[in-house]
Structure 1
Amino acid sequence: PTITDYQHFFLPVLQRLSNVEYLTLLLVVGLEGIRPNHFIDGFDLEKNIISYMPHLREFHFHIRSILKNPSHVEIKTIRQSFIQYQQQSVDCVIDYFHDNYGQCQIYSLPFIGTRLDFISNRFPLFDTNKTFSMVTKLLLYDDIQPFESSFFERVSRALPHLRTLDVMNGLEQQEKKKTTTNNLEFINLTTLILFDIHLDYAEQLLCRTHLPCLVELAIDNDILLEIMTRDQQQAKDNCSRVETLRTWKPFYHSVDVLENFFPPYSYVKHPDEEKMKNK
Protein backbone atom coordinates (compact mmCIF):
# COMPACT_ATOMS: atom_id res chain seq x y z
CA PRO A 1 0.00 0.00 0.00
CA THR A 2 0.89 3.68 -0.26
CA ILE A 3 1.53 5.27 3.15
CA THR A 4 0.57 8.96 3.24
CA ASP A 5 1.85 9.60 6.78
CA TYR A 6 4.59 7.10 7.56
CA GLN A 7 6.00 8.83 10.63
CA HIS A 8 2.87 9.82 12.54
CA PHE A 9 0.33 7.19 11.53
CA PHE A 10 1.93 4.01 10.23
CA LEU A 11 4.89 3.64 12.58
CA PRO A 12 2.92 4.06 15.85
CA VAL A 13 0.56 1.29 14.76
CA LEU A 14 3.45 -1.00 13.83
CA GLN A 15 5.30 -0.29 17.06
CA ARG A 16 2.42 -1.73 19.09
CA LEU A 17 2.95 -5.17 17.55
CA SER A 18 5.59 -6.20 20.08
CA ASN A 19 4.85 -9.92 19.88
CA VAL A 20 5.29 -10.24 16.11
CA GLU A 21 7.67 -13.00 15.00
CA TYR A 22 7.23 -12.81 11.21
CA LEU A 23 6.84 -9.50 9.41
CA THR A 24 6.46 -8.64 5.73
CA LEU A 25 6.30 -5.01 4.57
CA LEU A 26 5.62 -3.96 0.98
CA LEU A 27 5.33 -0.17 1.12
CA VAL A 28 5.47 3.05 -0.87
CA VAL A 29 6.31 5.99 1.38
CA GLY A 30 5.94 9.62 0.34
CA LEU A 31 3.97 9.29 -2.89
CA GLU A 32 1.39 11.74 -1.55
CA GLY A 33 0.51 13.36 1.73
CA ILE A 34 3.29 13.90 4.30
CA ARG A 35 6.66 12.83 2.94
CA PRO A 36 9.70 11.86 5.01
CA ASN A 37 12.68 14.23 4.75
CA HIS A 38 15.12 11.46 3.84
CA PHE A 39 15.19 8.06 2.18
CA ILE A 40 14.17 5.17 4.43
CA ASP A 41 17.27 3.09 5.22
CA GLY A 42 18.53 0.39 7.56
CA PHE A 43 18.94 2.79 10.48
CA ASP A 44 15.25 3.73 10.18
CA LEU A 45 14.15 0.09 10.17
CA GLU A 46 16.26 -0.69 13.23
CA LYS A 47 15.25 2.39 15.22
CA ASN A 48 11.56 2.60 14.32
CA ILE A 49 10.51 -1.02 13.74
CA ILE A 50 12.92 -3.80 14.73
CA SER A 51 13.76 -2.36 18.16
CA TYR A 52 10.05 -2.53 19.06
CA MET A 53 9.79 -6.23 18.19
CA PRO A 54 12.00 -8.28 20.52
CA HIS A 55 10.53 -11.57 19.26
CA LEU A 56 11.02 -10.85 15.58
CA ARG A 57 12.54 -13.83 13.77
CA GLU A 58 11.96 -13.06 10.07
CA PHE A 59 11.58 -9.67 8.42
CA HIS A 60 10.98 -9.40 4.68
CA PHE A 61 10.48 -6.04 3.05
CA HIS A 62 10.41 -3.95 -0.10
CA ILE A 63 10.10 -0.25 0.70
CA ARG A 64 10.14 2.49 -1.93
CA SER A 65 10.55 5.98 -0.46
CA ILE A 66 10.00 9.05 -2.63
CA LEU A 67 11.36 12.57 -2.08
CA LYS A 68 10.83 15.83 -3.93
CA ASN A 69 14.02 17.82 -4.56
CA PRO A 70 16.13 15.31 -2.62
CA SER A 71 19.72 15.86 -1.59
CA HIS A 72 22.10 13.54 -3.40
CA VAL A 73 22.87 10.38 -1.45
CA GLU A 74 25.43 7.79 -2.50
CA ILE A 75 24.14 4.23 -2.72
CA LYS A 76 27.01 3.02 -0.53
CA THR A 77 25.64 5.22 2.27
CA ILE A 78 22.31 3.38 2.16
CA ARG A 79 24.04 0.01 1.99
CA GLN A 80 26.24 0.82 4.98
CA SER A 81 23.08 1.44 7.02
CA PHE A 82 22.35 -2.29 6.75
CA ILE A 83 25.70 -3.49 8.11
CA GLN A 84 23.99 -4.74 11.27
CA TYR A 85 21.86 -7.13 9.15
CA GLN A 86 24.36 -9.98 9.38
CA GLN A 87 21.65 -12.64 9.27
CA GLN A 88 19.93 -11.33 6.12
CA SER A 89 20.87 -10.16 2.64
CA VAL A 90 19.63 -6.71 1.69
CA ASP A 91 20.10 -4.49 -1.35
CA CYS A 92 18.98 -1.07 -2.52
CA VAL A 93 18.66 1.19 -5.56
CA ILE A 94 18.61 4.99 -5.72
CA ASP A 95 17.26 6.90 -8.71
CA TYR A 96 17.05 10.60 -9.49
CA PHE A 97 14.80 11.95 -12.26
CA HIS A 98 14.62 15.20 -14.22
CA ASP A 99 11.17 15.94 -12.74
CA ASN A 100 12.88 16.80 -9.41
CA TYR A 101 11.86 13.58 -7.71
CA GLY A 102 14.12 10.91 -6.34
CA GLN A 103 13.40 7.46 -4.99
CA CYS A 104 15.18 4.81 -3.00
CA GLN A 105 14.12 1.18 -3.01
CA ILE A 106 15.36 -1.07 -0.23
CA TYR A 107 14.54 -4.77 -0.26
CA SER A 108 15.41 -7.97 1.52
CA LEU A 109 16.73 -10.95 -0.40
CA PRO A 110 15.47 -13.22 -1.73
CA PHE A 111 13.06 -10.65 -3.21
CA ILE A 112 9.49 -11.48 -2.18
CA GLY A 113 7.47 -8.93 -4.15
CA THR A 114 5.64 -9.51 -7.42
CA ARG A 115 5.41 -5.83 -8.38
CA LEU A 116 7.99 -3.20 -9.36
CA ASP A 117 7.05 0.45 -9.97
CA PHE A 118 8.92 3.32 -11.61
CA ILE A 119 11.78 1.19 -12.83
CA SER A 120 14.34 3.02 -14.95
CA ASN A 121 17.25 1.98 -17.13
CA ARG A 122 19.41 2.21 -14.02
CA PHE A 123 17.56 -0.43 -11.97
CA PRO A 124 19.45 -3.77 -11.72
CA LEU A 125 16.71 -5.90 -13.24
CA PHE A 126 19.13 -8.09 -15.10
CA ASP A 127 21.39 -9.56 -12.43
CA THR A 128 22.68 -13.11 -12.85
CA ASN A 129 20.83 -14.30 -9.73
CA LYS A 130 17.43 -13.66 -11.38
CA THR A 131 16.44 -11.71 -8.29
CA PHE A 132 13.20 -10.37 -9.75
CA SER A 133 12.16 -13.37 -11.85
CA MET A 134 8.82 -13.76 -10.01
CA VAL A 135 7.65 -10.20 -10.75
CA THR A 136 4.29 -10.15 -12.56
CA LYS A 137 3.56 -6.40 -12.67
CA LEU A 138 6.06 -3.82 -13.94
CA LEU A 139 5.83 -0.05 -14.38
CA LEU A 140 8.71 1.36 -16.43
CA TYR A 141 9.49 5.06 -16.08
CA ASP A 142 12.44 7.14 -17.25
CA ASP A 143 12.71 10.81 -18.19
CA ILE A 144 16.50 10.67 -18.61
CA GLN A 145 17.07 7.80 -21.05
CA PRO A 146 14.84 6.08 -23.62
CA PHE A 147 14.08 2.37 -23.29
CA GLU A 148 15.87 0.81 -26.24
CA SER A 149 14.92 -2.43 -27.98
CA SER A 150 17.73 -4.26 -26.18
CA PHE A 151 16.23 -3.18 -22.85
CA PHE A 152 12.89 -4.82 -23.65
CA GLU A 153 14.68 -7.96 -24.82
CA ARG A 154 16.40 -8.22 -21.45
CA VAL A 155 13.12 -7.54 -19.62
CA SER A 156 11.47 -10.45 -21.44
CA ARG A 157 14.26 -12.77 -20.32
CA ALA A 158 14.55 -11.47 -16.76
CA LEU A 159 10.79 -11.47 -16.03
CA PRO A 160 9.32 -14.62 -17.60
CA HIS A 161 6.11 -14.39 -15.51
CA LEU A 162 5.32 -10.77 -16.37
CA ARG A 163 1.57 -10.23 -16.85
CA THR A 164 1.15 -6.44 -16.67
CA LEU A 165 3.47 -3.92 -18.31
CA ASP A 166 3.00 -0.15 -18.00
CA VAL A 167 5.41 2.10 -19.90
CA MET A 168 5.91 5.82 -19.22
CA ASN A 169 8.62 7.43 -21.33
CA GLY A 170 8.33 10.33 -23.77
CA LEU A 171 11.86 10.01 -25.13
CA GLU A 172 12.49 8.76 -28.66
CA GLN A 173 14.45 5.54 -29.01
CA GLN A 174 17.95 6.05 -30.43
CA GLU A 175 18.65 2.50 -31.61
CA LYS A 176 15.35 1.67 -33.27
CA LYS A 177 16.83 1.58 -36.81
CA LYS A 178 19.05 -1.30 -35.78
CA THR A 179 16.09 -3.58 -35.07
CA THR A 180 13.86 -4.85 -37.85
CA THR A 181 13.10 -8.38 -36.64
CA ASN A 182 10.08 -9.51 -34.62
CA ASN A 183 11.80 -11.99 -32.33
CA LEU A 184 10.79 -10.32 -29.06
CA GLU A 185 8.08 -12.12 -27.07
CA PHE A 186 6.26 -11.71 -23.77
CA ILE A 187 4.48 -15.03 -23.55
CA ASN A 188 2.44 -14.34 -20.37
CA LEU A 189 1.67 -10.64 -20.78
CA THR A 190 -2.08 -10.00 -20.52
CA THR A 191 -2.20 -6.22 -19.89
CA LEU A 192 -0.27 -3.47 -21.69
CA ILE A 193 -0.57 0.20 -20.71
CA LEU A 194 0.80 2.80 -23.12
CA PHE A 195 -0.72 6.11 -22.04
CA ASP A 196 2.28 8.40 -21.51
CA ILE A 197 4.77 7.35 -24.17
CA HIS A 198 6.60 8.21 -27.37
CA LEU A 199 5.24 6.47 -30.46
CA ASP A 200 8.38 4.32 -30.58
CA TYR A 201 7.22 2.19 -27.64
CA ALA A 202 3.92 1.33 -29.26
CA GLU A 203 5.82 0.32 -32.39
CA GLN A 204 8.22 -1.71 -30.27
CA LEU A 205 5.59 -3.56 -28.26
CA LEU A 206 2.72 -3.87 -30.72
CA CYS A 207 4.47 -4.04 -34.10
CA ARG A 208 7.73 -5.81 -33.26
CA THR A 209 6.76 -8.05 -30.33
CA HIS A 210 4.70 -11.22 -30.08
CA LEU A 211 2.04 -10.93 -27.35
CA PRO A 212 0.03 -14.16 -27.56
CA CYS A 213 -1.93 -13.59 -24.32
CA LEU A 214 -2.71 -9.87 -24.59
CA VAL A 215 -6.35 -9.27 -23.56
CA GLU A 216 -6.24 -5.71 -22.21
CA LEU A 217 -4.74 -2.64 -23.90
CA ALA A 218 -4.76 0.95 -22.61
CA ILE A 219 -3.26 3.42 -25.05
CA ASP A 220 -2.99 7.07 -26.09
CA ASN A 221 -5.58 7.95 -28.76
CA ASP A 222 -3.25 9.50 -31.32
CA ILE A 223 -0.75 6.69 -31.01
CA LEU A 224 -3.48 4.08 -31.41
CA LEU A 225 -4.68 5.72 -34.63
CA GLU A 226 -1.11 5.91 -35.96
CA ILE A 227 -0.52 2.21 -35.28
CA MET A 228 -3.78 1.27 -37.00
CA THR A 229 -2.94 3.45 -40.01
CA ARG A 230 0.25 1.48 -40.57
CA ASP A 231 -1.81 -1.72 -40.83
CA GLN A 232 1.11 -3.87 -39.66
CA GLN A 233 0.34 -7.59 -39.41
CA GLN A 234 2.07 -8.23 -36.07
CA ALA A 235 0.11 -5.37 -34.49
CA LYS A 236 -3.15 -6.72 -35.92
CA ASP A 237 -2.36 -10.16 -34.56
CA ASN A 238 -1.55 -8.79 -31.07
CA CYS A 239 -4.75 -6.74 -30.99
CA SER A 240 -6.99 -9.50 -32.34
CA ARG A 241 -7.41 -11.09 -28.89
CA VAL A 242 -7.90 -7.89 -26.89
CA GLU A 243 -11.08 -8.06 -24.83
CA THR A 244 -10.74 -4.65 -23.18
CA LEU A 245 -9.51 -1.55 -25.03
CA ARG A 246 -9.21 1.74 -23.16
CA THR A 247 -8.03 5.09 -24.50
CA TRP A 248 -6.40 8.03 -22.72
CA LYS A 249 -9.06 10.48 -23.96
CA PRO A 250 -12.59 10.02 -25.29
CA PHE A 251 -12.53 8.24 -28.64
CA TYR A 252 -14.64 10.50 -30.84
CA HIS A 253 -13.94 8.58 -34.03
CA SER A 254 -16.45 5.97 -35.05
CA VAL A 255 -15.71 2.67 -33.34
CA ASP A 256 -15.99 1.14 -36.80
CA VAL A 257 -12.35 2.14 -37.42
CA LEU A 258 -11.36 -0.37 -34.74
CA GLU A 259 -12.93 -3.36 -36.49
CA ASN A 260 -9.85 -4.38 -38.48
CA PHE A 261 -7.74 -4.55 -35.35
CA PHE A 262 -9.93 -5.43 -32.39
CA PRO A 263 -12.76 -7.85 -31.63
CA PRO A 264 -16.29 -6.42 -31.55
CA TYR A 265 -17.32 -4.67 -28.32
CA SER A 266 -13.77 -4.60 -26.95
CA TYR A 267 -13.71 -0.79 -26.70
CA VAL A 268 -14.66 0.51 -23.25
CA LYS A 269 -16.08 4.02 -23.38
CA HIS A 270 -14.03 6.70 -21.68
CA PRO A 271 -15.81 8.12 -18.59
CA ASP A 272 -15.97 11.55 -20.23
CA GLU A 273 -17.94 10.06 -23.12
CA GLU A 274 -20.61 8.89 -20.72
CA LYS A 275 -20.70 12.33 -19.07
CA MET A 276 -21.27 14.07 -22.40
CA LYS A 277 -23.93 11.55 -23.36
CA ASN A 278 -25.87 12.26 -20.16
CA LYS A 279 -25.80 16.05 -20.61
Structure 2
Amino acid sequence: MSNLEELALYLSSVVCDKKFIDGNDLKQNIIDYMPELNQFRFSIQSTILLKDQIDLPSNEDIKHSFKDFSNNKIISCVNYFFEAKYGQCHIYSCPYPIPTYENISNNFPGGLFRYVSDVSLFDEHPFEYEFFIQIAQSFPFLKNLTITNQKGQNNKEYTKSNNNNEDFLLIQYPRLKYLHFKQIHNDYIEQFLLDTKTCLPYDILLFTDFKSVQRVTHNFTRNATRINCSKMRYICFDRIFRFPKHFKNDFLDTEIHVF
Protein backbone atom coordinates (compact mmCIF):
# COMPACT_ATOMS: atom_id res chain seq x y z
CA MET A 1 0.00 0.00 0.00
CA SER A 2 2.87 2.43 0.71
CA ASN A 3 3.84 2.36 -3.00
CA LEU A 4 0.35 3.24 -4.19
CA GLU A 5 0.36 6.16 -6.64
CA GLU A 6 -3.37 6.61 -7.16
CA LEU A 7 -6.24 6.27 -4.71
CA ALA A 8 -10.00 6.75 -5.00
CA LEU A 9 -12.04 6.86 -1.78
CA TYR A 10 -15.80 7.28 -1.73
CA LEU A 11 -17.69 7.20 1.57
CA SER A 12 -21.33 8.11 2.15
CA SER A 13 -23.17 8.75 5.42
CA VAL A 14 -20.29 7.91 7.75
CA VAL A 15 -21.54 8.49 11.31
CA CYS A 16 -18.80 9.97 13.49
CA ASP A 17 -18.68 10.30 17.24
CA LYS A 18 -17.52 13.87 17.86
CA LYS A 19 -16.15 15.46 14.70
CA PHE A 20 -16.46 15.38 10.94
CA ILE A 21 -13.90 13.69 8.74
CA ASP A 22 -11.64 16.48 7.49
CA GLY A 23 -8.27 17.10 5.86
CA ASN A 24 -6.37 16.36 9.06
CA ASP A 25 -7.91 12.88 9.22
CA LEU A 26 -7.06 12.14 5.60
CA LYS A 27 -3.49 13.33 6.03
CA GLN A 28 -2.80 11.50 9.30
CA ASN A 29 -4.54 8.24 8.40
CA ILE A 30 -3.93 7.94 4.65
CA ILE A 31 -1.55 10.37 3.00
CA ASP A 32 1.25 10.11 5.59
CA TYR A 33 1.33 6.34 4.99
CA MET A 34 1.55 6.66 1.19
CA PRO A 35 4.63 8.68 0.21
CA GLU A 36 4.26 7.74 -3.49
CA LEU A 37 0.65 8.90 -3.71
CA ASN A 38 0.29 11.55 -6.42
CA GLN A 39 -3.42 11.36 -7.22
CA PHE A 40 -6.10 11.18 -4.53
CA ARG A 41 -9.74 11.37 -5.61
CA PHE A 42 -12.37 11.32 -2.90
CA SER A 43 -15.91 12.14 -1.92
CA ILE A 44 -16.74 11.72 1.77
CA GLN A 45 -19.93 12.57 3.63
CA SER A 46 -19.68 12.36 7.41
CA THR A 47 -22.39 12.94 10.00
CA ILE A 48 -22.39 13.87 13.69
CA LEU A 49 -25.36 13.81 16.04
CA LEU A 50 -26.18 17.11 17.71
CA LYS A 51 -26.13 16.77 21.49
CA ASP A 52 -25.92 20.33 22.80
CA GLN A 53 -22.36 20.81 21.56
CA ILE A 54 -21.07 24.34 22.00
CA ASP A 55 -18.20 24.59 19.53
CA LEU A 56 -19.41 23.16 16.23
CA PRO A 57 -16.94 23.23 13.32
CA SER A 58 -17.71 25.70 10.55
CA ASN A 59 -17.14 25.28 6.85
CA GLU A 60 -14.10 27.55 7.19
CA ASP A 61 -12.68 25.18 9.82
CA ILE A 62 -13.02 22.26 7.41
CA LYS A 63 -11.45 24.25 4.57
CA HIS A 64 -8.50 25.17 6.79
CA SER A 65 -7.83 21.50 7.52
CA PHE A 66 -6.80 21.07 3.86
CA LYS A 67 -4.19 23.85 3.93
CA ASP A 68 -1.29 21.39 3.52
CA PHE A 69 -2.81 19.50 0.59
CA SER A 70 -0.96 19.93 -2.68
CA ASN A 71 -4.26 19.55 -4.52
CA ASN A 72 -6.00 22.81 -3.71
CA LYS A 73 -9.16 21.95 -5.67
CA ILE A 74 -11.00 20.55 -2.67
CA ILE A 75 -14.54 21.60 -1.79
CA SER A 76 -16.22 21.35 1.59
CA CYS A 77 -19.82 21.96 2.59
CA VAL A 78 -21.07 21.87 6.19
CA ASN A 79 -24.74 21.79 7.17
CA TYR A 80 -26.47 21.62 10.54
CA PHE A 81 -30.03 20.33 10.64
CA PHE A 82 -31.22 21.25 14.11
CA GLU A 83 -34.72 19.83 13.73
CA ALA A 84 -33.35 16.45 12.69
CA LYS A 85 -30.53 16.90 15.24
CA TYR A 86 -27.55 16.09 13.08
CA GLY A 87 -24.78 17.82 11.20
CA GLN A 88 -23.32 16.80 7.88
CA CYS A 89 -20.04 17.56 6.15
CA HIS A 90 -19.29 16.76 2.52
CA ILE A 91 -15.70 17.01 1.29
CA TYR A 92 -14.62 16.14 -2.22
CA SER A 93 -11.84 16.57 -4.72
CA CYS A 94 -12.35 18.27 -8.07
CA PRO A 95 -13.33 17.32 -10.63
CA TYR A 96 -16.14 15.63 -8.73
CA PRO A 97 -15.34 11.92 -8.92
CA ILE A 98 -18.67 10.02 -8.71
CA PRO A 99 -22.06 10.08 -10.53
CA THR A 100 -24.10 10.68 -7.34
CA TYR A 101 -24.40 13.86 -5.27
CA GLU A 102 -26.52 13.34 -2.13
CA ASN A 103 -28.30 15.66 0.30
CA ILE A 104 -27.69 18.98 -1.41
CA SER A 105 -28.92 21.87 0.72
CA ASN A 106 -29.22 25.62 0.25
CA ASN A 107 -25.51 25.79 1.13
CA PHE A 108 -24.65 24.03 -2.12
CA PRO A 109 -21.32 25.53 -3.27
CA GLY A 110 -22.24 25.35 -6.95
CA GLY A 111 -20.06 24.30 -9.85
CA LEU A 112 -20.52 22.27 -13.01
CA PHE A 113 -20.97 18.50 -12.60
CA ARG A 114 -21.04 16.97 -16.06
CA TYR A 115 -20.77 13.37 -14.88
CA VAL A 116 -23.39 13.45 -12.11
CA SER A 117 -26.76 11.93 -13.03
CA ASP A 118 -28.23 11.12 -9.60
CA VAL A 119 -29.00 13.98 -7.17
CA SER A 120 -30.93 14.28 -3.92
CA LEU A 121 -31.95 17.54 -2.23
CA PHE A 122 -32.68 18.01 1.47
CA ASP A 123 -33.01 20.98 3.79
CA GLU A 124 -34.95 22.33 6.75
CA HIS A 125 -35.18 25.70 5.01
CA PRO A 126 -37.18 26.38 1.84
CA PHE A 127 -35.77 25.76 -1.62
CA GLU A 128 -36.56 28.91 -3.55
CA TYR A 129 -36.94 29.23 -7.31
CA GLU A 130 -33.34 30.44 -7.75
CA PHE A 131 -32.08 27.27 -6.10
CA PHE A 132 -33.71 25.08 -8.75
CA ILE A 133 -32.20 27.24 -11.48
CA GLN A 134 -28.78 26.56 -9.95
CA ILE A 135 -29.44 22.81 -9.74
CA ALA A 136 -30.48 22.64 -13.39
CA GLN A 137 -27.38 24.58 -14.46
CA SER A 138 -24.95 22.64 -12.27
CA PHE A 139 -26.21 19.19 -13.32
CA PRO A 140 -26.89 19.28 -17.08
CA PHE A 141 -27.03 15.46 -17.29
CA LEU A 142 -29.35 14.96 -14.33
CA LYS A 143 -31.50 11.82 -14.68
CA ASN A 144 -32.66 10.93 -11.18
CA LEU A 145 -33.81 13.67 -8.78
CA THR A 146 -35.09 13.15 -5.23
CA ILE A 147 -36.41 16.08 -3.18
CA THR A 148 -37.13 16.13 0.56
CA ASN A 149 -38.29 19.42 2.06
CA GLN A 150 -41.35 20.12 4.19
CA LYS A 151 -40.94 23.91 4.31
CA GLY A 152 -42.96 25.92 1.81
CA GLN A 153 -41.34 28.46 -0.47
CA ASN A 154 -41.23 32.08 0.66
CA ASN A 155 -40.90 33.55 -2.81
CA LYS A 156 -43.05 31.78 -5.38
CA GLU A 157 -43.13 34.77 -7.70
CA TYR A 158 -39.52 34.83 -8.90
CA THR A 159 -39.33 36.43 -12.35
CA LYS A 160 -36.77 37.48 -14.93
CA SER A 161 -36.58 40.90 -13.31
CA ASN A 162 -38.27 42.85 -10.57
CA ASN A 163 -41.14 43.54 -12.93
CA ASN A 164 -43.90 41.19 -11.79
CA ASN A 165 -45.53 41.34 -15.21
CA GLU A 166 -42.74 39.32 -16.80
CA ASP A 167 -42.78 35.56 -17.12
CA PHE A 168 -40.93 33.07 -14.98
CA LEU A 169 -37.52 31.93 -16.01
CA LEU A 170 -38.39 28.51 -17.39
CA ILE A 171 -36.19 25.84 -15.80
CA GLN A 172 -35.25 22.92 -18.03
CA TYR A 173 -34.21 19.39 -17.10
CA PRO A 174 -33.69 17.90 -20.57
CA ARG A 175 -32.48 14.44 -19.43
CA LEU A 176 -34.57 13.89 -16.32
CA LYS A 177 -36.08 10.38 -16.10
CA TYR A 178 -37.01 9.83 -12.44
CA LEU A 179 -38.57 12.38 -10.09
CA HIS A 180 -39.08 11.41 -6.44
CA PHE A 181 -40.81 13.56 -3.81
CA LYS A 182 -40.35 12.43 -0.20
CA GLN A 183 -41.81 14.20 2.85
CA ILE A 184 -42.53 17.13 0.61
CA HIS A 185 -44.35 20.44 0.70
CA ASN A 186 -46.80 20.92 -2.16
CA ASP A 187 -44.86 23.94 -3.42
CA TYR A 188 -42.15 21.68 -4.83
CA ILE A 189 -44.57 19.40 -6.63
CA GLU A 190 -46.16 22.52 -8.10
CA GLN A 191 -42.69 23.77 -9.06
CA PHE A 192 -42.27 20.78 -11.37
CA LEU A 193 -45.84 20.32 -12.57
CA LEU A 194 -46.48 23.90 -13.69
CA ASP A 195 -45.37 24.32 -17.30
CA THR A 196 -44.84 28.04 -16.65
CA LYS A 197 -42.01 27.19 -14.24
CA THR A 198 -40.45 23.95 -15.46
CA CYS A 199 -39.93 22.38 -18.87
CA LEU A 200 -39.73 18.60 -18.64
CA PRO A 201 -38.79 15.96 -21.21
CA TYR A 202 -41.15 13.23 -22.31
CA ASP A 203 -41.59 9.99 -20.34
CA ILE A 204 -40.61 10.79 -16.73
CA LEU A 205 -41.44 8.46 -13.86
CA LEU A 206 -43.05 10.42 -11.02
CA PHE A 207 -43.03 9.05 -7.47
CA THR A 208 -45.05 10.90 -4.82
CA ASP A 209 -48.15 10.48 -2.70
CA PHE A 210 -51.54 10.72 -4.35
CA LYS A 211 -53.08 13.36 -2.07
CA SER A 212 -50.31 15.86 -2.83
CA VAL A 213 -50.70 15.46 -6.59
CA GLN A 214 -54.45 15.74 -6.20
CA ARG A 215 -54.13 19.06 -4.34
CA VAL A 216 -51.58 20.58 -6.71
CA THR A 217 -53.60 19.65 -9.82
CA HIS A 218 -56.87 20.84 -8.22
CA ASN A 219 -58.25 17.33 -8.35
CA PHE A 220 -56.81 16.82 -11.85
CA THR A 221 -58.67 19.75 -13.40
CA ARG A 222 -55.89 22.38 -13.46
CA ASN A 223 -54.92 23.42 -16.98
CA ALA A 224 -51.50 24.75 -15.92
CA THR A 225 -50.35 21.27 -14.86
CA ARG A 226 -51.70 19.26 -17.79
CA ILE A 227 -48.72 19.61 -20.13
CA ASN A 228 -46.11 18.39 -17.66
CA CYS A 229 -48.40 15.70 -16.26
CA SER A 230 -48.94 14.41 -19.79
CA LYS A 231 -45.20 13.74 -20.00
CA MET A 232 -45.15 11.65 -16.82
CA ARG A 233 -45.81 8.09 -15.82
CA TYR A 234 -47.21 8.35 -12.31
CA ILE A 235 -46.27 5.54 -9.92
CA CYS A 236 -48.76 5.45 -7.06
CA PHE A 237 -48.23 3.39 -3.89
CA ASP A 238 -51.19 4.76 -1.92
CA ARG A 239 -54.27 2.74 -1.08
CA ILE A 240 -56.95 4.73 -2.90
CA PHE A 241 -60.42 3.23 -3.17
CA ARG A 242 -61.87 5.67 -5.69
CA PHE A 243 -59.88 7.76 -8.16
CA PRO A 244 -61.16 11.06 -9.58
CA LYS A 245 -62.70 10.96 -13.02
CA HIS A 246 -59.81 12.65 -14.87
CA PHE A 247 -56.97 11.10 -12.89
CA LYS A 248 -55.62 8.66 -15.48
CA ASN A 249 -56.27 11.02 -18.38
CA ASP A 250 -53.85 13.59 -16.99
CA PHE A 251 -50.78 11.36 -17.14
CA LEU A 252 -48.95 9.58 -19.91
CA ASP A 253 -49.50 6.42 -17.90
CA THR A 254 -50.30 5.40 -14.33
CA GLU A 255 -49.25 2.41 -12.28
CA ILE A 256 -50.98 1.56 -9.02
CA HIS A 257 -48.97 -0.54 -6.57
CA VAL A 258 -50.76 -1.50 -3.37
CA PHE A 259 -49.07 -3.84 -0.90
- 2:113 corresponds to 1:132: yes
Change (3 A) 1:75 1:263: closer
Hey, what's the Cα distance between the residues in 2 that align with 1:250 and 1:78?
46
**Which structure has more helix as a fraction of its residues?**
1
- Equivalent position to 1:110, from 80, 83, 95: 95
Could you list the runs of 5+ residues in structure 2 that have no partner in the other structure? 160-166
Alignment partner, residue 277 of structure 1: none
> In the aligned structure 2, how far is the partner of 1:19 from the partner of 1:255?
66
Asked if residue 97 in structure 1 is aligned to residue 81 in structure 2, the reply is: yes
Is 1:75 the counterpart of 2:59? The answer is: yes
1:262 pairs with one of 240, 246, 251 = 251
**Residues 1-279 of structure 1 correspond to what in structure 2 (within 5 A)?**
17-30=1-14, 35-69=16-50, 71=53, 72-98=56-82, 99-125=84-110, 130-143=111-124, 145-178=125-158, 181=168, 183-207=170-194, 208-228=197-217, 229=219, 231-243=221-233, 245-247=234-236, 249-254=238-243, 257-264=246-253, 266-269=254-257, 273-274=258-259
Distance 2:185 2:95 in 1: 35
- The separation in 1 between residues aligned to 2:211 and 2:139, in whole angstroms, is 30
Q: List alignment gaps of at least 5 residues for structure 1.
A: 1-16, 275-279
**For 1:102-148, what per-residue CA distance to the aligned partner results, in whole angstroms no more than 9, with x for missing partners?**
011111122222221111111212xxxx34343222111111x2111
- Tell me if the contact between 1:241 and 1:262 (Cα under 8 Å) persists in the aligned partners: yes
Number of residue pairs aligned between Structure 1 and Structure 2: 245
Normalised by the length of structure 2, the TM-score is 0.84
Q: Is the 8 A contact 2:220 2:246 kept in 1?
A: no
Judged with a 3 Å threshold, the aligned counterparts in structure 2 of structure 1 residues 232 and 209 are, in CA distance, closer, same or farther, namely farther
SS in 1 for 2:250: coil
What's the TM-score, normalizing by structure 1?
0.79
Match of 2:162 in 1: none
Whole-Å separation in 1 of the counterparts to 2:232 and 2:35: 51
SS at match of 2:249: coil
CA shift for structure 1 position 182:
6.9
The alpha-carbon deviation at position 97 of structure 1 amounts to: 1.1
Preserved CA contact (<8 Å) 1:188 1:213: no
Question: Offset at 1:205?
Answer: 0.9
Q: How far does the alpha carbon of each residue in 1:45-67 deviate from its partner, in whole angstroms, 9 at most, with x for none?
A: 11222233333221100101011
Contact 1:214 1:239 in 2 (8 A): no
8 Å contact kept, 1:191–1:214: no
Residue 209 of structure 1 and its aligned partner are, at CA, apart by: 1.2
| Alpha-carbon distance between aligned partners in 1 of 2:64 and 2:143, rounded to the nearest angstrom | 35
Compared CA separation, residues 219 and 29, structure 1 to 2 (3 A): closer
